[in-house]
Amino acid sequence: MAALKYAGLEDTDSEEELPPGWEERTTKDGWVYYANHLEEKTQWEHPKSGKRKRVAGDLPYGWEQETDENGQVYFVDHINKRTTYLDPRLAFTVEDNPVKSTTRQRYDGNSTAMEILQGRDLSERVVIITGANSGLGFETAKSLALHGAYVILACRNMSRANEAVQRILEEWHKAKVEAMTLDLASLHSVQHFAEAFKSKNVPLHMLICNAAVFAAPWSLTEDDLEATFQVNHLGHFYLVQLLEDILRRSSPARVVMVSSESHRFSEIKNSSGKLDFSLLSPSKKEFWAMVAYNRSKLCNILFSNELNRHLAPHGVTSNAVHPGNMIYSSIHRNWWVYTLLFTLARPFTKSMIHILHAVCISH
């Protein structure tokens, strides 16, 4: 004990506790080293345990690593607007050459988007998300952008889309996010969006078809089609066709269709078992909002399955996801009855950040 005290290594409650005058630091690539300010020296081994360590995983979202003029690494917390030379991951270090875990990470209904994406670097990914100015689309855009992806919010209402972009930038000023006009109720707008995106000469790694209307009253689009069918399905179908060549060139790439379990309560065949096109874009007399929504979600799944069969050999996969039941979002805004029901059910609904894992895990 006297020798330990003489060496500056007094006994403590933990072998991980540093002796006086020592400081724990990290290198740019995440290795932990120890600085002895009394003797002005550094070493890789912990001064008490003799262990070598490294930090695990990426920085928490909102944090960024920088280097000062002396070449020393420091860390910027953009959310709380502060800087520190202490790596926030030091609480989660692992020993050098650890035993590889044999357990597989599992996710459930309580998993958040940030947990799903933890440790993933998406800085080389380009993502398009339709209907990304609110709800599930916005949370998806934010989560992917905070992990480095270049995210394009494809929205009809540019005012709300630009507000969504600003909200993401407030969380991380270096996020790569952009709003572009896309009105799925206009096939001309879909074509114009695809042309504008192609003019950027960038790849496309994820196309997330999220936009949808629910319980909307009957109306015809400028293309003379029932609005729910065109917005929820046909507009996305056309968008994928127009961007298919870029997806192929960007492989591995992915298309995600946000569908719904309600597709089970619909039918698009006639009494002879053949596809009935009149059911897809019905007349006002034959229209029922909930049935129209269910049919559009069934079309999403059928399209996703066929798209995956068609494009998987070329490195492009397609998945249809059900985001979960009892989600409180703005999709119910078209009819006051549904708004009332959603409001009454809100205390029992899942948070958007928890539901989002269905979309993120498909990446």
- Residue positions annotated with a catalytic role: 293
**Could you give the CA distance from residue 52 to residue 34 in angstroms, rounded to a whole number?**
10
Phi, psi of 41 (to 5 degrees): -145, 165
Q: Which residues pair with 265 in a beta bridge?
A: none
List of residues 6+ apart from 6 with CB closer than 8 A:
none
The torsion defined by the Cα of 342, 345, 346 and 349, in degrees rounded to 10, comes to: -110
DSSP 3-state of 143: helix
Which two structure tokens, joined as six digits, stand for 31?
């290795």
Cβ burial, residue 41 (10 Å; 0-12/13-18/19+)? exposed
Token pair listed for 185 = 């109720």
Q: In whole angstroms, what is the distance from residue 260 CA to residue 268 CA?
A: 16
**Distance between CA 89 and CA 30 in Å, rounded?**
9
Bond from prior residue into 252 cis (ω within 30 degrees of 0) = yes
How many Cβ atoms are within 10 Å of 107's Cβ, its own excluded? 13
The first and second tokens of residue 135, run together, are 């709800």
Give dist(CA 355, CA 112) in Å, integer: 7
